[in-house]
Amino acid sequence: MRFFGKTHIDFVSRRRTAFLISAVVIGAGLISLVIKGGPDLSIDFEGGVLIQLKFKDQVATEELRTALDEAGYPNCEIQTFRTGDEVLIRAPIVEGEDTTEDIKRAVGDRFGANSFEVRREELVGPKVGRELGKNAIWAIVIGLGAILVYVAFRFEFRFAVAAVAALFHDVLVTLGIFSLTGKEVSLAVVAAFLTIVGYSLNDTIVVFDRIREDLRKYHRERYEGVINASINETLSRTTMTSLTTMIVVLFLFFLGGEVLRDFAFALLIGVVVGTYSSIFVASPILVEWYRKSPQRRR
């Protein structure tokens, strides 16, 4: 099944505009990260406590925040679930205090000890958080390195460089948007980053496979023309894959609950950016590489 008919879109000629758009988006994200001193990390990395409370009736966020402020926890983050009777409280650890019990006691004093039940409690020490952060970075770096070796073995080194550059592009854009929107980076979001890398690589490999076939078949044609033809030939498949994936992720975003919302949000960005980078980043890099290669000059 073809989503489009036979297309003849000149993607390659628009590569410099696409590079400029990518540079602006990545630049804005990097500036935001520098201003904030890095991404907004969840307690998975920073250390702290997380408590999920289910109330018998709906509660006002302002009243709950007042109760926590009076108990000596002014920096808590309060996230209300869609129903309004369930909240997620994140708080930094206070030295010498039992933070979890203090928060439950403060909420009980304000709303009544029997007005809520504890659905979830998590505690992450700062040392464990730093270790998790280091492992997350290494997971992404090692994954990208393995991809570089795999693509270089299966195709050529220039294809590997183009693929990894596109993957770096996708991760940086997603991380930048998270920083610009003030969303936290948690372990679930890191998992989403790795999922984005896999999705984008799969899309890029499909395009690269067609490029390799067409380069052999039309070796007398202009290089830019072969790249354009290959992208157009795989455009229907790329669009269908992206749309079907997007439908599933949208359901996850709207119906998956608060806990999965940031994970689904990262995937939404990744599906769009991964499709874009396969067409406007990875393939155009091959064109730029070829234009500067000694083989073309000869």
**Which residues have C-beta within 8 Å of that of residue 188, sequence separation ≥ 6?**
259, 260, 262, 263
> What CATH number was assigned to the domain covering residues 48-124?
3.30.70.3400
Q: What is the pLDDT of residue 126?
A: 65
Rounded Cα distance, 192 and 256, in Å: 15
Q: What residue type is 38 in one-letter code?
A: G
238-284, pLDDT tens digit by residue? 888 899 999 999 998 988 776 788 899 999 999 999 999 999 999 99
54-95, pLDDT tens digit by residue? 888 888 888 888 888 888 877 777 877 777 788 888 887 776
> 170 falls in which pLDDT band (50, 70, 90)?
very high
Question: Helix or strand or coil: residue 187?
Answer: helix
Q: Which overall architecture, per CATH, does domain 12-42+128-297 show?
A: Up-down Bundle (1.20)
- Per-residue pLDDT at 139 exceeds 80: yes
Rounded Cα distance, 280 and 231, in Å: 10
- Per-residue pLDDT at 153 exceeds 70: yes
- Per-residue pLDDT at 45 exceeds 90: no
Domain boundaries, the chain: 12-42+128-297, 48-124
- Per-residue pLDDT at 7 exceeds 80: no
pTM of the model: 0.80
Q: Which of 161-170, 216-225, 280-289 has the lowest mean pLDDT?
A: 216-225
Rounded Cα distance, 51 and 172, in Å: 31
Residue 104: which of 74, 75, 67, 79 has the closest Cα?
Answer: 67
Q: What is the pLDDT of residue 297?
A: 46
Average pLDDT, the chain: 85
